[in-house]
Amino acid sequence: MAGETLLTIVGNLTGDPEIRTTGGGAPVANFTIASTPRNYNRQSNQWEDGPALFMRCSAWRDLADHCAKTLTKGMRVIAQGRLSQRSYQAQDGTNRTVMELTVDEIGPSLRYATAQVAKQGGGNHGGYSGGSTYGNPAGNPPATPHPNAAPSQPPASDPRANGGSGYTSDSFTPADPASEPEF
């Protein structure tokens, strides 16, 4: 697939994936990822949100089913896929153009959370689907931990310890803001 524009985006889901089936019987999951840059303002000594990018995404076939079973609103994800542009005529007669990401790979970000991976049977690639600690859906049991593995419960000081996602903008403070790169 030479010549296609590949894109990797990191952000939070704005809603649960919506799954539907096309006329040909192929399942497709649609969702939006919001990616908001954070910049350190040296004058105010505070982190500030930049303008958010809302990327509409679609995942097809087995990946669509895995997304619908695993991903939930607010979850931080890393998605990679092919960027495309399409034009259409709206009901009011105006011509519109939208940018969409056809997702090839997606998974939870482990920067502020942990996840457990459960291998799905079948498939040519031995696909994996995540049952995560921040939203393990029913019917998708977590993988059995290694006997020597450390407990997966976050420490009490961690904002995720009492059911929080750890994704609130107040919960992230860098160790040394002055060491952050300036863009």
Break the chain into its structural domains and give their ranges.
6-108
Structure confidence by residue, pLDDT tens digits, 21-48: 999 999 999 999 999 999 999 999 999 9
State yes or no: pLDDT of 6 exceeds 90.
yes
Beta-ladder partners of 81? 7, 103
Which residues on neighbouring strands pair with residue 118, listed in sequence order? 129
- Give the amino acid at 166: G
C-alpha span between 82 and 153 (Å, rounded): 36
Quote the pTM value. 0.64
Nearest to 36 by CA among 181, 169, 159, 135: 169
CB-facing half-sphere around the CA of 85: CA atoms within 13 A: 3
pLDDT in tens, 113-165: 898 888 876 555 444 444 444 444 444 444 444 444 444 444 444 444 444 44
The SS3 of residue 155 is coil
Determine phi and psi for 171, rounding to 5 degrees: -85, -10
**Chain-centroid distance, C-alpha 121:** 23
Superfamily the domain 6-108 falls into: Nucleic acid-binding proteins (2.40.50.140)
pLDDT tens for 58-114 read: 999 999 999 999 999 999 999 999 999 989 999 999 999 999 999 999 999 999 889
